[in-house]
Structures are given as structure tokens and as C-alpha cells.
Structure 1
Amino acid sequence: MEQLASLSKRKRTTATRLTKSSKIIKTIIAAIQEKKGTNIISLDLRKIDEAVSDFFIVCEADSQPQVRAIAENVEERVREKCDEKPYHHEGYQALQWVLIDYVNVVVHVMQPETRKFYKLEEMWSDAAAQEHEE
């Protein structure tokens, strides 16, 4: 849960509000799909006042090497295509849940057991959820 705690330490910016079709969101989803991430869901948090971000993108990986591969690919593709580096990332040590924070969009790459335990989709059930094909 420390991944979520780190999000509250920074402020959300409102200068560049994202949409579902923003380049960074499309790039992140494509990067996850390239490395065979599964159960990809984007949560639109823009209408939730307490939200720390505009969007969460959550996906699963079956193993620690796949968690690393997906997370590294997301960072690499976003750097290449959007010229953005993450504000913060964590979880690369344990590789159960890697969080990549781009301030207005936060990526969660999780192993299935971790995702079931933390239930992010339930925690943010007020958000509009969209599934993305693998």
C-alpha cells in the first residue's frame, strides 16, 4: 500500500488535463500490450475530487520478470513518444506492484495476487472504467 501512500505527497496539476484519447494514455496502453500485460483497465478519476490523478491505468503481469518488462517498456515508450519522464516510480525491488507516476496519469503494473488483495478498481469504484483489449 506504500505505492498509494506516495501519491498523496505530491500535488495534482490542473494545467494539462488529460482525456481518454491523450497521447500519453494511448502510449502507455500500447506499451503494456507490447509486453503482453493482461486485464488492462483505465480508470477516469477526473470527476472525483479526492483523486490524486486524472487517470489510473492498471494491468497484470504473470511474473516478476514480466512486471519489470512492462514497467520498463512503459517508461521507455513514454520517454520516446511523449518526451516525458515519470515524476516518481517505485516497486522495482519486489516486483509485485510497480507504480509509475506521471502526475496526471499513474500506471500500476501488478501481479494477479497483489491486484486481488488491493482491489484498486473497488477502491475507486466511482471512476468510469474502460477495459482495453490485449
Structure 2
Amino acid sequence: MSENPSADSVALALHVLEEMKAEDVTVIDLVGKTSLADAMIIASGRVNRHVASIADSLVEALKASGLPTPKVEGMPACDWVLIDTGDIIVHVFRPEVRQFYNLEKMWGADRPNERLVS
């Protein structure tokens, strides 16, 4: 682990999301915006089963990395799964649900300094 655990958590999450073929991945820097977390990652899975697989893989990778067990919400339905590590918050949505809630707009990810990862 480096001196910046949030950066390590983000890098690990992005790696897992890429491996699991998550779509439309967006990273939002929350430093100075809220004390909830340092970063928020928003991603989409194609269907409920894909959302569940992405979330399961991410939780297992976070545990395996030695981080405390993340808090997870939304697993039974898998329309929207939230994974909270303390440093970062990861949202995995079905596309329709993501479009409805539009967290990117709420948290200002439409600004040019936010990072979109394809």
C-alpha cells in the first residue's frame, strides 16, 4: 500500500471494474466536497446478474487486499449496489437506474476536471 490509501482503493476498484467489464466508469473526486469519502466511482452493469457479479468481485478483491470489509447495500435486487470502503464509495447500477438517479450531475462529474474511464 502507498501513502494514499484512497488512491490504492480507487486503483484496485478500477482494476476490478475493468476485469468484470463494467461499463461507463466514472471517478469523482470528493475531496473538499464532502466528508463522506475521498472518491466516488460510478459504473454500470448490463443486467442485474452482471451488477451482482461486479459487486461480488469488488467486495472480494477489497477484502483480499487487507482492507476492512466494506459495507454493501442493494445486493438482493441488484438494480443499484453501493459499496462503501470508508475511503471510497462505489455505485454499480443497471443503466436505466443510473440514468434515473444521475449521480454524476448531482456530484458535478459533468465538470471538465472529473475523470471518466472507459
The superposition leaves residues 75-99 of structure 1 with CA deviations (integer Å, 9 ceiling, x where unpaired) of: 111111243310x211011110000
Q: Could you tell me how far apart the structure 1 residues matched to 2:107 and 2:4 are?
A: 19
Q: 1:104 to 1:83 in 2, by over 3 A?
A: closer
After TM superposition, the runs of 4+ consecutive aligned structure 1 residues lying more than 6 A away are none
- The TM-score with structure 1 as length reference comes to 0.77
Tell whether 2:41 aligns with 1:61.
no
Tell whether 2:100 aligns with 1:94.
no
Q: Which position in structure 1 is the counterpart of 2:28?
A: 43
Where 2:114 maps in the other structure, the secondary structure is: strand
Q: Is the 8 A contact 2:44 2:94 kept in 1?
A: yes
Aligned residues: 114
Q: Could you tell me how far apart the structure 1 residues matched to 2:93 and 2:21 are?
A: 13
Q: Is the 8 A contact 1:18 1:54 kept in 2?
A: no
Which residues of 2 match residues 82-121 of structure 1 at below 5 A? Answer: 82-86=66-70, 88-121=71-104
Which letter does structure 2 place at the counterpart of 1:103? Answer: G
The superposition leaves residues 63-85 of structure 1 with CA deviations (integer Å, 9 ceiling, x where unpaired) of: 11100100011011111124331
Structure 2: stretches of 5+ with no match in the other structure: none
Q: Could you tell me how far apart the structure 2 residues matched to 1:60 and 1:106 are?
A: 14
Which letter does structure 2 place at the counterpart of 1:60? Answer: S
The superposition leaves residues 3-40 of structure 1 with CA deviations (integer Å, 9 ceiling, x where unpaired) of: xxxxxxxxxxxxx9655xx2111110111111110000
Q: Could you tell me how far apart the structure 1 residues matched to 2:117 and 2:66 are?
A: 20
Which letter does structure 2 place at the counterpart of 1:28? Answer: A
The superposition leaves residues 90-113 of structure 1 with CA deviations (integer Å, 9 ceiling, x where unpaired) of: 101111000001112000000111
Q: 1:129 aligns with which of 88, 110, 114?
A: 114
Where 2:104 maps in the other structure, the secondary structure is: helix
